[in-house]
Structure formats: C-alpha cells, structure tokens
Structure 1
Amino acid sequence: MITLTGQTLTIEDAKQVLYGGAFVTASAESVQKVEKSREAVENIVKQKKVVYGITTGFGKFSDVLIDAGDAEQLQWNLIHSHACGVGEPFPEVVSRAMVLLRANALLKGFSGVRPVVIERLIELLNAGVHPVIPQQGSLGASGDLAPLSHLALVLMGEGEVFYKGERMEAITALSKEGILPLTLKAKEGLALINGTQAMTGMGLVNYIEAEQLAHQTEAIASMTLEGLRGIEDAFDADVHLARGYRQQTEVAERIRRMINGSQLITKQGELRVQDAYSLRCIPQVHGASWQTLDYVKEKLEIEMNAATDNPLIFDDGEKVISGGNFHGQPIAFAMDFMKIAVAELANISERRIERLVNPQLNDLPPFLSPSPGLQSGAMIMQYCAASLVSENKTLAHPASVDSIPSSANQEDHVSMGTIGSRHAHQIIQNVRRVLAIELICALQAVEYRGTEKMAPFTKDFYTEARKIIPSITQDRIFAKDIEAAASWLLEIDWNSFIHGNLPTT
C-alpha cells in the first residue's frame, strides 16, 4: 500500500503503483488540508470575490466575471472545450502515472478541490481504470490542458478508458467498478487540468525505462568486450578515480565485476595496446549518461510532489495567488537532456556493433555469418541500428527551445515539455532496439570465441538471452529476433537478475 501525502512520493513508490499493482490511499492529514482549502473556495464563491478560475473565465477571459449560479456549468464547459487532444493515446502505464500524480498534487491542499475528487482518482488507480489520453495537443504551459482534460472527462463519466485489457466507454468501466461519476464544482475542473502531469507522467515512465536500459547496456557491452577480446586495463579503478566523476567510477566498477573471471578478456599489450573508444571509453560515456539520469530523477521527484495548478490557495483562503507553477520548463529541460543522454547510449552501442560485424576491425567471421557470402548474417542488422541512431539524432533536437504564444498572447511563452517527453519515449524505444542488435551480435561473437571461457556473470546473461534469441546458424528474418530481444529487455526483472548473478566483489 502506498500512502499519498502530496509531499513524499518517490520514483520507487511510483514503480510499485505503475508496475507492481500496489494499492493507493490518501493520508488523513493531507485530506484535512484539502478540506480546509475547499472551504476557502466555497467562501470565495459565496462572497463573490474576483478570483481567477473560480469567479472568472480562463486564459484571455480572466477579466470576464462568472455568476455563482454558473460555477458548475463553467467547469463543464472548461473540460469539454479543452478536451481536444489528438493522435495516438499515451501508453496505458503513462495514463496510470498521470492519475497517480494528479491525485498526489491535489493532496497538497493548495488546489481547492473537494476530497471526493481525489477519492475518485484513487478509485480509478485501485480499480485499474485508466483514461484514454491522446498524446498530442499540449504546449506544456498553462498546464497540460488538453491531455488532462481527457483525464477529467473520465471522472465525469465521459470519454474512454483502458480497462482489463480493453478500450471502452468510461461510463461502462465505472459502472462495472461501482465508481460514481462526478459533477465538478467551482475550481475543480481547473485544478484537474492546470498542471504538468502529462509531461511528468511520461517523464516518470521514461526514467524508469531509461534506468533499466542504462544497466542493461553495461551488461551487453561487457559481453561485447569478451566477443572482441577487449582490454580490461581501461577499467582499472585508479583511472576513473583520477578523474573524479562518481558515475563514471561506478560504471567501471560494475564492468569489472561483470567480466571478472573471463578468459576472453585481455591485458594491455597482450593482443594490442589500446582498444577503440567505443570499448575503452564505456565508463566515460555511459557514466556521463548516468549523470544526466541522476539530474532527471531529481527534477522528476520534485515535480511529482509539486503544486502546479493555478491559482493556489494559502492561509485558509486569506491568500489566493495566480502564479505560473503550471509552466513546464524544468521538466522540458530535463526531458531534452534525457533525450541526448539516452540517445548517446545507442550511438556508442552502434559503434560496438560495427566492430563486431566488420571483418576489417576484428578476427571474427565477416558479419558473424555462418557462411560468409552465401549468407549475409548480421550485415543488415547494423544498417538497422545505424538508421535508429540517425533517427534519434533528429528526435534529440530540444523541444524546449521552441515557444508559440497562445490565448491571444496572454500565454505568450510555453515550454513544449510534453513534446520533449514524448520524443524521449520514442528515443528510448529506438535505443532498446539498438541494444537488442548489439546483444544478438555479442551473443554470436562469444559463441564463436567459446562460451566456456566467459565470465560467470556474462555466461549467465548469455544463457538467459539464448532462451530468447537462437544462435545464427542460417539467415532468417532477423526483425523477429530484434523485436523478441527488445521485448525481453523491457520485460525482464533486471534488478532481480543483477542481484542474483552479479558478483559482489
């Protein structure tokens, strides 16, 4: 059970909810804050105070006063008019993340919603009812208005959801689970959609997948080192301590543990004096990516516990301020930074693939072919990897450098953070496929060298991977192997595998 407080949600907590099916509840103390905040909103309505989004219109209509009797209609109109997202829906796990993060943010007690709104969000999570939310249509400021409006529709019994493996009308799933639709009251529609939960939910899933990929690329690279009879001296602790980056030092240490005991790894000067950079500089390059992932994790965990709607209610309603916490710039930068860092893991991986298949760069069979000339082997797999790497270079262009004014120039600078988070997700999928290709090639290379000479860890990794990817004894449709390997890398419980197989010293 994960208890939401609005203050303490971590990525590890989120993993349990998103992937482990952990149930969610709200802390009693946080609910009390929510109740006080709601009282403040109701007093504002009764006293006919002029407060943005409660007794006024939205955006450029902020100067238009709304009669108290139209409060519910105002919220209904807001959600329906703003639910204009387009394109393919976010992955279901991202939708689940958005519901989780929206509930947590509202529990901070600055948003003025009734506790029942949060209760419904938590009911959706615990019942596995996930809104169908189109990916495109958010500028990443003023909140992720369009995506979150599709989330809010479900609370109202409208829109569509994913439920038990099917896509259906929201009211059907709600009825099956006994969840009653809501009529949104003053401020509640605005509180639901004025936030960064689309880009942050996507970013959260991105980080979880990227973290696993970063670990996997070290294991795959270790097997490549064996397949190419790489030089272990470059991973000596003294080299990396001399530079001083913690993440670089940690990558080198993990590589040493992974190749420990290998009879395929060589010493400096034994076969050659130096390896190519794609082998020798693994700690420096992968370590820099880890530095970036650490930065992204820090920003995500702040944003996951942030109040990002507008206006915010303080001091039991004595202070209601229209600010700009909905602006997604911090996450926009983090996602753009992540794109570059994760893309680089594929960039260097593709260079290792080239060294595995190019007969001018190794003493392995050309293109790892079982019958060079008659059979092409891994030749075109390298083409595929090169194409994915090139595509990533285009996707890695920062979304956050762009801005287009909206709402008649009232909202004249926006983050495009949701676009950045979506592109980061695309890059991660491409990177996983590049790593799948390196894995296929590394498996073939160590098999040629003699698997009995492998390190204990990489031999265990080889054994598990061979259950998914057969040896190349004949040309075949390698697209199937790439997809099978990529799916395995996504689904494998990597933490358990590492803890069960990686030497501790």
Structure 2
Amino acid sequence: MLLQSPTQTVMSLEAPNPLSLHIIHLLMLIKPATSGGRFRVLRTAVSFFYMDPTLMSLRSLQLPSVNTGFGGSADTRTKDLPALQSALLQLTQAGILTDEDSNGNGLNIMPVTCVRAAMLIRCNTLLRGHSGVCLELVQALLLLLRKGMTPIVPLRGSISASGDLIPLSYLAGMLEGNPDIRVRTSTSFVLSADKALELAGSEPITLGPKEDLGLVNGTAPSATLGCLAVHEANKILLLAQGLVAMSCEALLGKAENYHPFISSVCPRPGQVECSATILHFLEGSSLVQSLKEEDKFKPVELNSASDNPIIDIKSGEVYSGANFISSSVANGMEKSRLALQMVGKLLFSLSSELINPTLNRGLPPNVVADDPSLSFTTKLIDISMAAYLSELGYLANPVTPHVQSAEMHNQSINSLALISGRYTLQAADVVAQMCVAHLFAVCQALDLRVIHMTYLKALRTKLVSKVLPFLNGFDDQVAEGIYERLHETIVKSWNASACFDLQERCKIPSKETIPVLRDHLEEHEMHFVSTRPLQRDLENLAYPTFTQTRSEFFVKPPTKQFLGRASLGLYCFVREELGVHFHQGLVEHPGRKTSGKVNGRKKRTIGSWVSIIFTALTNDQVWGHLVEALGSRTCQVRLV
C-alpha cells in the first residue's frame, strides 16, 4: 500500500441548509462564480488518500508522472520527488501574460468568474478522494476562495488533452506562493502570490507526490467555461422568447402561431416549451390577434475525477486512464454555438422585418418618429445586426476538427474543450448584443404602433362627424358599415404610405377615402353632393390630429396598457428602470447646434442608448422581469 491513512471529508456551502458539493449542479456553480460564496469542509463521509513518498522510494515502483517524467518524457526516472513537483509546475506555468495582463486589465486573461468556478470544481474533484492530495491543500484553496483571492490565469495555451494544464498550474502556483504568479484580491488589487497568501493568513504549501498532478491534471477550466456558456445561452434563449413575443405585438401578429396543437403534432420538447412560453408571454396583449379560446445540463464533468493516475478509494489501487480529455464538454460547446447561431438568425429576421416598411404593417422606415427623409433611427442597427450575425456564423464553426497532436505525440488526441468553451462564450456575447439592439428597436416600434393606433382611432371619430351629413337617410346599420369601410380604407392607405414624410402622408388617406364614399352614395342612388369640401376637411384634420396624438404621447406614453406579459416587463425595464425613452428622431442628435436636452433629458447617440441596455443585460438586471413574466410557469428549455 503506497497510501497514507484516509480522512473522511465532504465540502458544503455555508447556508441555512448546507448543500453537499460532492455532487455539483450548474446553478450551484453559477452563484459562487459570479457573486461569491462561503465554503467549508466537513469531516463526514468521503475517504481521502494521499501518496506516501517514503514507501514509494523504498519499493522503487514506477507510477507515470508521479515518480517518472511527464507525458512523452515518462521514460525518465527520479527519486527526488519534491523536486519533481516543482518541475511539473515549472513546465506548465508557460502561459503568455503581458504586464497589462499581470495587472488584471489585459485581454489575455481568463475572467475572474471562470477562475473562481474552476477553483470550486477542482476542490470538489479533489474531495472525491481519487486524486491523492492531502486535505490541507483543499482547505488552503477554499480559504483563498473565501477570501476572494484568484490567480491571474492565461486565457490561451490549453488543448484540453491531459486536462487544462496551463490554467490549473496557476492555481497551484498561488498555493505554493510563487512570487511570479499574480493574484487578484476581492478588491481587484493585484499582488504576487506570496504576498496574497500572507494577506489571506495562509502558509505556502509544499506539494507532495501526486499532489501537483491532482491540481493541474484536470478539466475544471473546460467544465467551468462550458457551464458558464450554457448558463448564458439559456438566459439568452429566454430573452429571445420574450423578444419574439414583443415583435409579434409590434408587428400586429397572431397568437395562433403558438397554438399548442401545432406543437402537439410535431412534439419536439424544445418546440413545445418555447411555443407555450411565448403564448404565455402574449397574455394580456391588445396588439396581437388572440386565440379563440430541463432537458437539463447534466453535470457529469463537474463531479468527475479527471486527473491521472487516479486512486480507487475502496481498494487503494492506482489506475491510469484518460478522463482528462473533456470530449463531452467540447461536443456540448459545439452544439451550443450552433443553437446560438440559430437564435441570432431568428433575431436578425425579426429585426429586419420590424425595420422594413414593406413588411412591418405601417410603421415608418427604420421605425423613425419623425420624417423618414431626414431621420434614420435604426438603420445602422439593421447593418450592425448583419455584422453580428456574420461574426456569429463564423464562431459557430466547429473547433474540434482542428485538434493537433502535441507533446511528443503523447497527446495525439485532445478535445480543445477550453478553446471551444471560450468561443461559445464569445458567441453568447454576440447574441446578447443582438438582443439589446433588437430590444431597443422593438420598444421603439411598440411606441410607434400605439401612436398610430391612437391616431387612427381619433381620426375615425372625427371622420364620422364629417361624413355624417352625407349619410342622412341611411339606415343606421348601413351607415355604420360605410363608416367601417371608410376607416378600413384609411388604415390601409396609411399603412401603405409609411415611406412618405408626415405632411404628405396625412393627405393620402383622404384621397383614398373619397372614391369609396362616392361609390356607396351612387350604389344607394343618393343625391350627389360635391365631396371636395369633405376631402379638404379630412386633409386639414389628419395632420394636426397626428401631431396632437404624438405630443400627448411624449408627455404620457400609454403603451404599457396594450402589452402582454413579457413585453410589459421588458418595456418597463427599458423605459422606466433604465431611462431609455422613446427616440424622437433627428432632434435627439447630440451634435446638432440646438438645446442639449430633449424633454428635459440629456441627448445621447443611439449607440449610447443601446449600450445602456447592454450594460444592464451583462449585469443581470433584466432577468427578474422575465422570470416575473413567466409567473407560475417554469421554463424547461435548455440547450444541452
């Protein structure tokens, strides 16, 4: 037996009801990674072995990478096991970090959330008892995690073959107090690892046999990026469903598209759930034509012993294998990026339809609030969406076919899971930018839709009073039918003239309406009366009615009362919580030599308004509104 006596342990979150982290689930990982958490080790139920260097030296046994060289150099032998631990860290701490990176501000470092989560996963793996490390090492890592200490870890350099060697070696370097390893504190101050240990009240650790491998030979970074990418993708998927509901309302669509029957005859679980969620989101909407009346992320990688060799805690036997290759994570990331690309394509199509006056059922080009000849509010958002989608299509390409044989052909097969996870997070970020760009545009479209509906309703009332003298002697029911036909003509001509400037557009409905009225008068053999005065009256009514409606809207927008569940939550989030108001057009441009404010608010570029929404999205401010819109429903849709 080459193993010291076992210790009984398990790790838990410090909470009112502590959760065993011997089995970690996705959501259990997200909170500690993003907002911190408290952890402790309980001496309870798991056997915990570590190597006895004295017995190993006496028996002259050879365990690959434990008392031999590493990887393709396993044909070398040494009895200086402590020095061998240092040699492994020396060879693995080979990532590229510039001075700016080392100060925590560069582009070549792994995000803090990923590093924190990787530390947590690695602790959970080590506590399973198969990795041959001492309990004190895990306790030291948890102490640093509690103190908010995270090493500056290079973003690149791992092929996810013998685990993610370079990223994890910087965790080990922090534990040994390497003065050339940089550590970020909870206050974002960066200092050397030896100083960080001193600040945390922890002593540098001298690694024993196998403990170096136990730390660096694992898949925690790949699993972390995979989990965070799936988490971001799932949030974006929920937001995309909300945006579909909003777009349906802005385009005066039909709730029928999401009728349960459609999914029941093609019962794919994702389709069933998405259509039910969107239909639920549309509840309460006055803009859509209403109906008449988890595939869960399986956290295998989070709870696996992924280093090599590993120890059977029942028999004490040591085995060599290849659990560290992370192929399942890599495959999951490839599929997630393809799903994100499809979500991006959907958002692009919705945005294009919303901005195009030939498709958006009467809204002005580029959903402008003023004259389309001088205002182009969302035109560059439309172009940007094409750029985002093109980049997303590139990112959707698979990473795994680019595997290269490495390390003296010892790592001839690898997964590139960490690289694939990085690109999946990039893809999620691109789709998030598409979401906020579309959210800005669809809020603009909803406001314009309400302005136009309110205007057409007011115009109908005035139309009745002007046409009434021409219909004396008509039966009330017949007269009402004529009013309805005239109103339909006005709406149709209004929707067809969206590309005209306002004054010209307001003249068109009257020109289209008069011939319809004449036809009805002739059909009923009524005495012919000149309709020219009526045409002039309607022309004179239309423009001031619209400007009055729009001015009243600027003061007190009534849009909220028309919206369904999701649209209401997202609209209020943008308009009220973030203060991104209805864009009034060219008057809003900060570069014009006019007042620096519009309705008392500061002028900003369109990019600045969209950036405000994006910042709020990245800070997770929007999700509460979507969860509230879900109500009692539980969204089960997951990407993998």
TM over 0.5: yes
What secondary structure, in the 3-state scheme, does the structure 2 residue paired with 1:243 have?
coil
Candidates 559, 562, 584, aligned match of 1:453? 562
Contact residue 245 and residue 566 of structure 2 kept, 8 A? no
Contact residue 309 and residue 325 of structure 1 kept, 8 A? yes
C-alpha deviation, 1:394, in angstroms: 0.9
Q: Which residue of 2 is the match for residue 161 of structure 1?
A: 183
* Cα gap change, 1:315 to 1:209, in 2 (>3 Å): closer
Structure 2: how far apart are the matches of 1:358 and 1:177? 59
* Cα gap change, 1:304 to 1:503, in 2 (>3 Å): closer
Q: Which residue of 2 is the match for residue 86 of structure 1?
A: 96
Contact residue 436 and residue 482 of structure 1 kept, 8 A? yes
5 Å matches for 1:321-332? 321-332=319-330
Which fold has the larger relative contact order, with Cα–Cα distance below 8 Å and residues 6 or more apart in sequence? 1
Note if 1:463 corresponds to 2:478: no
Q: Which residue of 2 is the match for residue 189 of structure 1?
A: 212
Structure 2: how far apart are the matches of 1:441 and 1:383? 13
Q: Which residue of 1 is the match for residue 365 of structure 2?
A: 366
Q: Which residue of 2 is the match for residue 276 of structure 1?
A: none
C-alpha deviation, 1:229, in angstroms: 0.9
Structure 1: how far apart are the matches of 2:72 and 2:392? 38
Greater helix share, 1 or 2?
Answer: 1
C-alpha deviation, 1:268, in angstroms: 8.7
Q: CA offsets per residue over residues 144-163 of structure 1, 9 Å max, x none?
A: 01111122111111211221
Contact residue 52 and residue 209 of structure 2 kept, 8 A? no
What secondary structure, in the 3-state scheme, does the structure 1 residue paired with 2:329 have?
helix
Question: Is there any run of 5+ residues in structure 2 with no aligned partner, and where?
Answer: 1-11, 98-107, 451-558, 590-603, 634-640
Note if 1:24 corresponds to 2:39: yes
* Cα gap change, 1:101 to 1:155, in 2 (>3 Å): same
Note if 1:44 corresponds to 2:153: no
Candidates 478, 482, 496, aligned match of 2:606? 478
Contact residue 6 and residue 108 of structure 1 kept, 8 A? no
Q: Which residue of 2 is the match for residue 60 of structure 1?
A: 72
5 Å matches for 1:251-330? 251-266=274-289, 294=296, 297-298=297-298, 301-315=299-313, 318-330=316-328
Q: Looking at CA atoms only, which structure, 1 or 2, has the larger radius of gyration?
A: 2
The number of aligned residues is 474
Contact residue 367 and residue 378 of structure 1 kept, 8 A? yes
Q: TM-score, normalised by structure 1?
A: 0.89
Which residue type is aligned with residue 562 of structure 2?
Answer: K
C-alpha deviation, 1:250, in angstroms: 1.4
Q: Which residue of 2 is the match for residue 408 of structure 1?
A: 408
Q: Which residue of 2 is the match for residue 348 of structure 1?
A: 346
What secondary structure, in the 3-state scheme, does the structure 1 residue paired with 2:137 have?
helix
Which residue type is aligned with residue 401 of structure 1?
Answer: P
* Cα gap change, 1:366 to 1:118, in 2 (>3 Å): same
* Cα gap change, 1:115 to 1:147, in 2 (>3 Å): same
Structure 2: how far apart are the matches of 1:238 and 1:40? 66
C-alpha deviation, 1:5, in angstroms: 5.7
Contact residue 138 and residue 144 of structure 1 kept, 8 A? yes
What secondary structure, in the 3-state scheme, does the structure 2 residue paired with 1:168 have?
strand
C-alpha deviation, 1:58, in angstroms: 0.5
Question: Is there any run of 5+ residues in structure 1 with no aligned partner, and where?
Answer: 270-289
Contact residue 51 and residue 133 of structure 2 kept, 8 A? no
Note if 1:14 corresponds to 2:123: no
Contact residue 252 and residue 288 of structure 2 kept, 8 A? yes
Note if 1:100 corresponds to 2:120: yes
Q: Which residue of 1 is the match for residue 595 of structure 2?
A: none
Q: TM-score, normalised by structure 2?
A: 0.71
Q: Which residue of 2 is the match for residue 500 of structure 1?
A: 628
Which residue type is aligned with residue 224 of structure 1?
Answer: S
Q: Which residue of 2 is the match for residue 141 of structure 1?
A: 161
* Cα gap change, 1:33 to 1:6, in 2 (>3 Å): farther
Structure 1: how far apart are the matches of 2:271 and 2:60? 59
* Cα gap change, 1:184 to 1:437, in 2 (>3 Å): same
Structure 1: how far apart are the matches of 2:123 and 2:133? 11
Which residue type is aligned with residue 366 of structure 2?
Answer: F
Contact residue 281 and residue 566 of structure 2 kept, 8 A? yes
What secondary structure, in the 3-state scheme, does the structure 2 residue paired with 1:29 have?
strand
Candidates 147, 150, 175, aligned match of 2:170? 150
Note if 1:120 corresponds to 2:130: no
Contact residue 53 and residue 81 of structure 2 kept, 8 A? no
Q: Which moved more, 1:112-121 or 1:366-375?
A: 366-375
* Cα gap change, 1:415 to 1:20, in 2 (>3 Å): same
Q: Which moved more, 1:3-12 or 1:424-433?
A: 3-12
Which residue type is aligned with residue 396 of structure 1?
Answer: A
C-alpha deviation, 1:39, in angstroms: 4.8
Q: Which residue of 1 is the match for residue 594 of structure 2?
A: none
Cα RMSD for the two superposed structures: 2.1
Structure 2: how far apart are the matches of 1:331 and 1:399? 12
C-alpha deviation, 1:380, in angstroms: 0.5
What secondary structure, in the 3-state scheme, does the structure 2 residue paired with 1:28 have?
strand
